[in-house]
Amino acid sequence: MLYVNRRTAEVIKYAANAFLATKITFINEIADLCECVGADVQDVARGMGFDNRIGAKFLHAGPGFGGSCLPKDTTALLKTAHDHGAQLRIVETVAAVNEQRKRAMPRKVVAALDGSIRGKTVAVLGLSFKPNTDDMRDSPSIPLITALHDLGATVRGYDPAAMEQAKPYLPRRDLLRQRLWGGGGRRRRGDRDRMGTIPRARPRSAAMPHGAAGDCRSAQHLSRRRNEAANFRYLTVGRPAAERYAETAMPRRRKTPNAKTIAALAEAL
């Protein structure tokens, strides 16, 4: 146990959450780079996490951080610094980049649906700020839903835990009551542990003429072959476009190689 004075305890709390927000924002920007150069941000984050000085937690690319802690404490730390004449340029940048990240998500939906979503139905799967909670405070889904409405789309939503709290943001008729639903585009925000999966290799029907899924959290890993068989496009963050980087795609390992494997690879090199 650490005994400190009240001022120090307050700064510890704010600084810790601001640092976690910085890690999230950093990996989100690395995800943008990965999309440009043909890398996979999940593999990048996994490789970085092997370094104990960095750690693997809070290195998962997504639509930006939200909730009741990180945004509030980041803002409080900046306000405290401003009141006392201190400059926290890194934290200021983190807050600004996170807001830009949230505004970038609707553009990914528009790009997935051929440049226009007016008159189309977009389904948002996962509404709370993180999986397995009903907390909608400062959730990245809120500006996403608002922007999609402003661009002329009909937005439908589902969350296994936050349906009641999501009512102020979506009309009751647009709150879906089951995991598998129809929509012109499918927008997945929640992680795989409670959200189920997008139906596999189900061909598009007349009810879904625009088969596209935008995965803000890289929660699904659907093969290009399966999507092509279903005539269904799958776009995610931090991964290269399959059409552009198919020749460089590496098979994904589900287990970390053991010491013997690593030694053999080192000897071969």
CA gap 253, 66 in Å, rounded: 31
34 is known as an active-site residue: no
Average pLDDT over residues 197-202: 48
**CB 106 within 8 Å of CB 151:** yes
CA gap 269, 263 in Å, rounded: 10
Question: Per-domain residue ranges for the chain?
Answer: 6-101, 103-248
Region 6-101: CATH code: 1.10.1040.10
- Whether 6-101 shares its CATH topology with 103-248 is answered no
The β-bridge partners of 143 are none
User: Is the CATH number of domain 103-248 1.10.3720.10?
Assistant: no
Residue 54: the pLDDT is 95
pLDDT tens-digit readout, 91-113: 999 999 999 999 998 888 888 77
pTM above 0.85, yes or no: no
Average pLDDT over residues 190-199: 48
pLDDT tens-digit readout, 221-251: 555 545 555 556 677 888 876 544 443 444 4
